[in-house]
Amino acid sequence: MSDPKTVRRESSRPASASILYSRAFWGLMLRDFRVLRREVGPFAIRVAMNPLLFLFVFTYIFPRIGQSFGNASAGGAMNFGTVLLPGLMAVAVMFTGIAAVALPLSSEFGITREIDDRVMCPLPVAGVAIEKICFSALQSMLSALIVFPLAYFIPAQPVHVHVSSYLLLGAVLVLASLVSGALGMTIGTSVEPRQIGLIFSVVVVPITFLGCVYYPWALLYHVRWLQYAVLLNPIVYMSEGLRAALTPALPHMPVWLILGALVVSLLVLGGAGIRGFLRRVIG
């Protein structure tokens, strides 16, 4: 007959381990927040520069010199600033998420092996990878919030935003941010540190221009083969999801397809990124 004290000790071990892991996870998050707080100025400038230039050139200068995009009918609901806002937020989310994971990993997996200091914490190695993805997701959501007010102050024509569902907006932002962090983890663990810059030119820039950032996906029916080809691009669902949440008057994908594709992208890219992280750290 087993000792009741022994049974209690054994039953409490999983709870104790989960508490230890959660504290270690939160400790890593606090460490990363402290580092980000010291660099909040450069972070904000880095995030805001790209959408600032796009909005200034395409929605402020072009209308004032007689050039225009989109359709000004329906009370301006189709002006280019309205079309562009969700896409620019998606770009900010994608770039920030990738940079927040892939760029630090390029140095942490370098000669100095700084990653070894992180994996020594009382947390499974996979948990360290998940923490990096989650922290990058928080940065991505912050970058989206930085972009949002720019669209109200810069365009010459007013941007028409109507949040159809705050629940949908939150779900899309969270999923899109996690997907971008997972993609950053996959890139950072699959590519040699010296090739990270090349990956941004060869992979990140093309998927951005083919990610329905500057046009709704539905308008690609004019180029039918491309309309189906871009469905493999996760940023398409980020742009379309934000378009559905912020500018529902514009054509967009069905919500169930957007959320389903983001969940599948997260599972695929997250699994690949975590496996790559384990291989680089343990193997």
In angstroms, rounded to a whole number, what is the distance separating the alpha carbons of residues 173 and 210? 20
The tokens for 163 are: 């949040």
C-alpha 177, offset from chain centre: 3
SS3 216: coil
| Residue 70: DSSP 8-state | E
Which pLDDT score is estimated for 183? 93
Residue 74 pLDDT exceeds 50? no
Residue 213 pLDDT exceeds 70? yes
Q: Which of 22-31, 70-79, 83-92, 200-209 has the largest mean confidence? A: 83-92
Query: Pairing relation of β-strands 78-79 and 70-71?
Result: antiparallel
Query: What number is the average pLDDT over the span 173-189?
Result: 93
Residue 201 pLDDT exceeds 90? no
Q: Give me the number of domains the chain comprises.
A: 1
Q: Which helix (H) or strand (E) holds 203?
A: none
Residue 115 pLDDT exceeds 80? no
Asked if residue 269 lies in contact with residue 179, where contact means CB atoms within 8 angstroms, the answer is yes
Which pLDDT score is estimated for 67? 59
Residue 11 pLDDT exceeds 60? no
Which pLDDT score is estimated for 237? 96
Residue 200 pLDDT exceeds 80? no
Query: What number is the average pLDDT over the span 192-204?
Result: 75
In angstroms, rounded to a whole number, what is the distance separating the alpha carbons of residues 129 and 186? 10
Residue 55 pLDDT exceeds 60? yes
Question: Which residues have CB under 8 Å from 282's CB, separation 6+?
Answer: 125
**In which domain, by residue range, is 61 found?**
4-282
Which pLDDT score is estimated for 136? 92
Could you give the percent of the chain with pLDDT greater than 90?
A: 27
In angstroms, rounded to a whole number, what is the distance separating the alpha carbons of residues 80 and 68? 8
In angstroms, rounded to a whole number, what is the distance separating the alpha carbons of residues 273 and 259? 21
Residue 166 pLDDT exceeds 50? yes
In angstroms, rounded to a whole number, what is the distance separating the alpha carbons of residues 144 and 92? 6
pLDDT in tens, 220-244: 988 999 999 999 999 999 999 999 9
The tokens for 197 are: 């810059």
